[in-house]
Structure 1
């Protein structure tokens, strides 16, 4: 009989443990070619986002498969909601890091932790032959899987920010992602992530997370602000969304041609 296959190492979780700054990018356009192209660019992590946009849970599997050929890039999957049924499906597909949106309390964080873990420590449903276990060929996957799973909870409201330490301190939460767009709206400044109150809240959140030793992350599409967040101690920073990059590049090309058609 062939030797058991190794349990895949979660490179993103390892990077957090090493204290290494990890640069990421958002995958919102469906299709594994896009996921693979982003992974090929050399980013440390790529978010496969099923919360906003047209990606469905069934799009995650081919995206994970496409990214599998680029060992330097770790996939991070964002489910649409904090739901154990969605978690179960995504984890069985082989997702090892979940970015859970709209977590506003310690109880909601604990629910996410429970959904990531097999009984008796959690409620994740048990299936023997899944891509996560390399179709049953990883020795004792059920007993070992938790060591390589990573839970990021997304704090993106005033209420969540008020309870930041309680949420981040839940055992089993590996990192906290600050959602700048929804936070701006919750603070009364929709669409204005550069408002001083929003900036102060974000920067204060990083200071608070650093004080309790919990890694923090953010999406910062302005390069100067991305560097600022890194200086403030952010452990993982996403720099762009694929659809935004596409439209900006297309507009710049067209504007340049119209300005100087010769």
Structure 2
């Protein structure tokens, strides 16, 4: 029995738009509701939310069977962190703060079994390999792992051609907030200079044949990014949606 097919990877590599939601609450119930809502993917945000390996596992179980593909954003680009997350069974990872081709290459190698990478052979006793029920996992897993790296600094944009050229990088996700802050516009995310830099970065990513990704809380900007060819599109966060809905309800008089 081989590793499961990664339908999300196949879709974005084929240029098919995949819309998804950030998960920041760490709630199994909220995650299950999001998974059943009809998104193509849901991202467990281990960088900016209260997640550890145990809670990531719980979120993956909550998404299982909903039809929504799980993605995990790891907190840092380290091989041992990526190894833990992959052994929990996720097949698509988002790696933050990738500024150079060398860092992108390290992320890819951390997600691949030897000889292509350095991932440790432990899935036979982990959820990824069905605790031994998927005997061919190690021999088939590499092709099904999707590696998305985040470009969210001026340095990353300067090195974007080299990052996109790294074999094994499936896509590059533009982190608009951190990019704006690094450009000197922390409190002005819609500054024309930031928007122009994002558009140019998306064009570069697509020119290299990689999937381009971004998140936007504006329906107008989401439509704009779809027109540009973004295929990994974040449409919001369950925490933001819940907070806004509750504030609106509380404001009724």
Normalised by the length of structure 2, the TM-score is: 0.97
Q: Give the aligned partner of residue 147 of structure 1.
A: 143
Q: Which of 84, 88, 113 is the aligned partner of 2:79? A: 84
Q: Give the aligned partner of residue 115 of structure 1.
A: 110
Distance, in Å, in 2 between the alignment partners of 1:235 and 1:208 is 14
Q: Which of 51, 62, 86 is the aligned partner of 2:58? A: 62
Distance, in Å, in 1 between the alignment partners of 2:31 and 2:223 is 25
SS of the residue aligned with 1:193?
A: coil
Higher radius of gyration, 1 or 2:
1
Residue pairs, 1:122-133, within 5 angstroms: 122-127=117-122, 128-133=124-129
SS of the residue aligned with 2:233?
A: strand
Report if the CA contact (8 A) 2:13-2:210 is conserved. Answer: no
Report if the CA contact (8 A) 2:47-2:76 is conserved. Answer: yes
Q: Once structures 1 and 2 are overlaid, which stretch shifts more, 50-59 or 238-247? A: 50-59
Q: Which of 191, 195, 201 is the aligned partner of 1:195? A: 191
Residue pairs, 1:219-234, within 5 angstroms: 219-234=215-230
Q: How many residues align?
A: 252
Distance, in Å, in 2 between the alignment partners of 1:199 and 1:57 is 35
- Report the Cα offset of residue 214 of structure 1: 1.0
Report if the CA contact (8 A) 1:50-1:57 is conserved. Answer: no
- Report the Cα offset of residue 7 of structure 1: 2.4
Report if the CA contact (8 A) 1:57-1:90 is conserved. Answer: yes
Unaligned 5+ segments in structure 1 are none
Distance, in Å, in 2 between the alignment partners of 1:117 and 1:81 is 17
Distance, in Å, in 2 between the alignment partners of 1:144 and 1:40 is 29
Deviating beyond 4 angstroms after TM superposition, the runs of 4 or more aligned structure 1 residues are none
- Report the Cα offset of residue 55 of structure 1: 1.9
Q: Give the aligned partner of residue 236 of structure 1.
A: 232
Q: Give the aligned partner of residue 3 of structure 2.
A: 7
- Report the Cα offset of residue 167 of structure 1: 0.5
What are the superposed Cα offsets for residues 68-104 of structure 1, whole Å, 9 maximum, x if unpaired?
1112x11110010001111111100101000000000
Q: Which of 91, 95, 98 is the aligned partner of 2:90? A: 95
Report if the CA contact (8 A) 1:25-1:240 is conserved. Answer: yes
Q: Which of 140, 153, 156 is the aligned partner of 1:157? A: 153
Report if the CA contact (8 A) 2:3-2:136 is conserved. Answer: no
Q: Once structures 1 and 2 are overlaid, which stretch shifts more, 41-50 or 206-215? A: 206-215
- Report the Cα offset of residue 53 of structure 1: 2.3
- Report the Cα offset of residue 56 of structure 1: 2.0
- Report the Cα offset of residue 132 of structure 1: 0.6
Normalised by the length of structure 1, the TM-score is: 0.93
Q: Give the aligned partner of residue 132 of structure 2.
A: 136
